[in-house]
Copies of this chain bind each other. A is one copy, B any other.
Amino acid sequence: MLNIFNSCQKIKSLYTPKIIAEVNNEYIKLVKINGNKVPWHNHKNEDELFFIIEGSLLMEIENKPSFKMQKGDLFVVTKGLNHKVSSQKECTIMLIESKSTLHTGNVISKITKSIESQKK
């Protein structure tokens, strides 16, 4: 058993998803972001769930109005949708992603981390 709030406190690096659990074919991850470094990307075959633990997140989806997510908000980016997330202050997010999901899709950027490094 783990406590989400304790797990969040241990995360010191931004833009570095940390796998905290697995359930069936999905990983549960925690990630902190602060700024605008996540590139536009999509996951061709996988939905991705965002759940805000702390802070505020700007969610942008191609050809749709952007919106702000606050603590407790939950949104699923369905497969194939181009999306981008950013924040003006530190924001802590729980992600649910398929084990096969690359967190920045097929876009390799400065923040891209391998699944192996997300397990550490």
**Residues of A within 8 A of B (CB-CB), count:** 30
Is A48 interfacial (CB-CB < 8 Å)? yes
A27 CA to B100 CA, complexed, in Å:
18
Q: A25-B24, A25-B25, A96-B23 are in contact. Are A1 and B75 (CB under 8 A)?
A: yes
24 CB-based A-B contacts, threshold 8 Å: A1-B67, A1-B69, A1-B75, A2-B73, A3-B70, A3-B72, A3-B73, A3-B74, A4-B73, A4-B74, A5-B72, A20-B74, A22-B47, A22-B76, A23-B26, A23-B48, A23-B49, A23-B76, A24-B47, A24-B98, A25-B25, A25-B26, A28-B96, A96-B96
Since A2-B74, A3-B70 are in contact, a sample of 6 more A-B pairs with Cβ atoms closer than 8 Å, ordered by chain A residue number, is: A2-B75, A21-B76, A23-B47, A23-B49, A24-B26, A26-B26
